[in-house]
């Protein structure tokens, strides 16, 4: 079971940590990967001690924070639509297709069904191992997608994300419901959010109701959708359906900012990025 520490029960320095135990305080030497050196001048907050029985290794996960200067929302507004065929589509016309990722997840699904049908102890061990590999793969994909979305943006820009309340209740066929429930959209949003805040980019959440039905050009509901193609019957505007939804999210975000509603500025961001050396996390596949 993981052990949690706060500033009262642990201290951190570049070469060691001091932990409070039932037998008093102990000093433990640590090795910090070079990648994390850029966070060493931040303020440490909490720590979690984890023992990996399979690898016989102990890890200490430490969260850091720092203050950010307030940035005016005077830049570009970017709407981000999340979906099944395209994991994410942004209003600046960036598409993250899910076809190749679906192929890999389908392989995991096939292996799970084969192992579940056996029901032996060895198959249950393999099921647990496969589950861990799939979670690491999905996490790494979400990290890569969120990084590519935020990289071209500038401080002062605003990212508009959709509130995910009720996403699991969306009606559809069995295949659509499976893909909706098998992808961690919430995790992807949180990765986008913390990467944006680190760069001085504001993040707002809006109600996505009718964003896939309204024409982003004339705001008419007299529309139709044929698979990925969206068409407005009022003004004959045609474009990709997911791109149209991202335009509507951008418009919702613009209206929210213009109304000057009370907003909470997050001035601190916790960073706890995992170091994932596993080879099964290297295949980040989208067009």
Closest CA to 242 of 78, 87, 77: 87
Per-residue pLDDT at 153 exceeds 50? yes
| pLDDT tens digits for range 162-186 | 988 755 555 556 666 666 666 788 8
Least confident interval from 62-76, 141-155, 191-205 = 62-76
| Angle subtended by helix axes 121-150 and 185-198, to nearest 10 | 40
In this structure, what DSSP letter does residue 146 have? H
Q: What's the pTM value of the predicted model, to 2 decimals? A: 0.67
Query: Three-state DSSP class for 45?
Result: strand
Least confident interval from 224-233, 258-267, 268-277 = 268-277
CB within 8 A of 211, min separation 6: which ones?
A: 81, 162, 245, 248, 249, 252
Q: Are 271 and 39 in contact (CB under 8 A)?
A: yes
The mean per-residue pLDDT over the stretch 217-225 comes to 90
Report the pLDDT value the prediction gives residue 247, as an integer from 0 to 100.
94
Task: For the chain, give the mean pLDDT.
Answer: 80
Highest mean pLDDT among 14-28, 30-44, 141-155, 272-286: 141-155
Q: What is the dihedral of CA 142, 145, 151, 152, to 10 degrees?
A: -150
Cα–Cα distance measured from residue 64 to residue 58, given in angstroms and rounded to the nearest whole number: 20
DSSP β-bridge partners for residue 226 = 229
Query: Three-state DSSP class for 151?
Result: coil
CA distances 224 to 39, 229, 239, Å, are 49, 9, 11
């Amino acid at each position: 079971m993981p052990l949690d520490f706060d500033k009262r029960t642990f201290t951190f320095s570049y070469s060691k940590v001091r932990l409070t135990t039932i037998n008093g305080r102990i000093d433990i030497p640590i090795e910090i990967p070079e990648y994390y050196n850029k966070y060493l001048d931040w303020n440490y907050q909490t720590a979690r001690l984890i023992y990996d029985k399979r690898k016989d290794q102990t890890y200490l996960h430490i969260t850091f924070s720092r203050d950010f200067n307030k940035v005016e929302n005077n830049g570009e507004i970017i709407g981000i639509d999340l979906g099944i065929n395209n994991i994410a589509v942004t209003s600046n016309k960036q598409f993250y297709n899910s076809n190749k990722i679906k192929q890999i997840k389908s392989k995991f699904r096939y292996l799970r069904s084969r192992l579940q049908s056996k029901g032996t102890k060895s198959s249950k061990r393999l099921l647990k191992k496969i589950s861990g590999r799939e979670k690491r793969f999905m996490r790494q994909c979400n990290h890569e997608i969120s990084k590519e979305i935020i990289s071209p943006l500038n401080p002062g820009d605003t990212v508009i994300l959709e509130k995910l309340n009720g996403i699991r209740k969306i009606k559809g066929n069995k295949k659509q419901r499976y893909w909706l429930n098998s992808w961690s959209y919430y995790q992807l949003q949180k990765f986008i959010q913390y990467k944006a805040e680190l760069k001085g980019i504001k993040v707002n959440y809006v109600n996505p109701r009718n964003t896939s039905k309204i024409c982003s050009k004339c705001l008419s509901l007299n529309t139709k959708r044929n698979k990925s193609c969206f068409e407005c019957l009022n003004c004959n505007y045609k474009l990709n359906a997911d791109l149209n939804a991202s335009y509507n999210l951008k418009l919702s975000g613009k209206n929210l900012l213009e109304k000057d509603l009370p907003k909470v500025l997050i001035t601190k961001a916790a960073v706890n990025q995992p170091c994932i050396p596993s080879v099964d996390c290297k295949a980040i596949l989208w067009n």
